[in-house]
């Protein structure tokens, strides 16, 4: 899987950082999401999906691998 962000949608709520601080951060300039790891290890997939579901602005998109 991979993570994509749509930064223009971000409202800086910070739910992603609270849920998966190893995958996401917030910019000190504008508070918007910064993607730290676009291709997380399998043990972090669930955290990425949770961050996607908790994001109030739909900024995070988890894209499954194509088999």
* For the chain, the helix, strand and coil percentages under 3-state DSSP, each to the nearest 5: 30, 20, 50
Domains of the chain, by residue range, sit at 2-63
Residue 43 backbone zone (phi > 0: left; psi -120 to 50: alpha; other: beta): alpha
Q: Does the pLDDT value for residue 65 go beyond 80?
A: yes
| CB count in 10 Å sphere of residue 55 | 23
Q: Is the pTM of this model over 0.85?
A: yes
- Eight-state DSSP code of residue 19: H
Cα 65 from chain centre: 16
Spatial contact of 47 and 18, defined as CB atoms under 8 Å apart: no
Summarised one tens digit per residue, pLDDT across range 5-61 is 999 999 999 999 999 999 999 999 999 999 999 999 999 999 999 999 999 999 999
2-63 CATH choice from 3.30.1360.230, 3.40.50.1450, 3.10.20.740, 3.30.70.20 = 3.30.70.20
């Amino acid at each position: 899987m991979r993570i994509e962000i749509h930064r223009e949608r971000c409202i800086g709520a910070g739910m992603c950082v609270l849920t998966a601080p190893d995958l996401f951060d917030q910019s000190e300039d504008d508070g918007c999401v910064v993607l730290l790891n676009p291709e997380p290890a399998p043990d972090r997939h669930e955290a990425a999906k949770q961050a996607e579901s908790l994001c109030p602005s739909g900024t995070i998109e988890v894209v499954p691998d194509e088999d």
